[in-house]
């Protein structure tokens, strides 16, 4: 189980790092914020910045998942310490909570 999971997480990490790099490149183009200048690129730049923050968060959570895998804690709920359903991990490989704990957190 660990080898395919590790590969999947490493692939996700590489994908997120590539996306982060592309977003960083797009952020190099600054919009004109001068008074009275309504550059439409401002909206695009701010959207790119928000997407970059999401990509950075995914990089971090993926690295944490790989760390949990190395430590033997991957697939264990952080709240109740029960095993996370393998189907849940297949759908959400970065999940840290079992479905029961995830549902109770949403309330």
Quick one: 18 and 62 in the same domain?
yes
**Single pTM value for the model:** 0.80
Q: What is the extent of the structural domain holding 42?
A: 2-74
pLDDT over threshold 70, residue 33: no
Quick one: 105 and 86 in the same domain?
yes
Of the candidates 1, 16, 8, the one whose C-alpha atom is nearest the C-alpha of residue 66 is 8
Helix (H, G, I), strand (E, B) or coil at 76: strand
Name the band, by pLDDT with cuts 50, 70 and 90, for residue 46: confident
Each residue's pLDDT tens digit, 52-81: 999 999 999 999 999 999 999 999 999 999
pLDDT over threshold 70, residue 35: no
Say if CB 41 and CB 31 are below 8 A apart. Answer: yes
What is the rounded distance in angstroms from the CA atom of residue 106 to the CA atom of residue 93?
19
> Which residue would you say has higher pLDDT here, 32 or 60?
60
Quick one: 42 and 18 in the same domain?
yes
- What is the tally of structural domains in the chain? 2
């Amino acid at each position: 189980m660990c080898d395919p999971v590790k590969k999947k997480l490493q692939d996700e990490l590489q994908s997120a790092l590539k996306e982060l790099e592309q977003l960083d490149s797009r952020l190099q183009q600054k919009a004109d914020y001068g008074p009275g200048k309504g550059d439409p690129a401002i909206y695009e730049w701010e959207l790119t910045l928000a997407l970059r923050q999401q990509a950075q968060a995914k990089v971090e959570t993926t690295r944490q998942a790989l760390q949990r895998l190395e430590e033997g804690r991957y697939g264990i709920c952080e709240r109740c310490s029960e095993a996370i359903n393998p189907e849940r991990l297949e759908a959400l490989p970065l999940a840290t909570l079992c479905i029961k704990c995830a549902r109770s957190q949403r309330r």
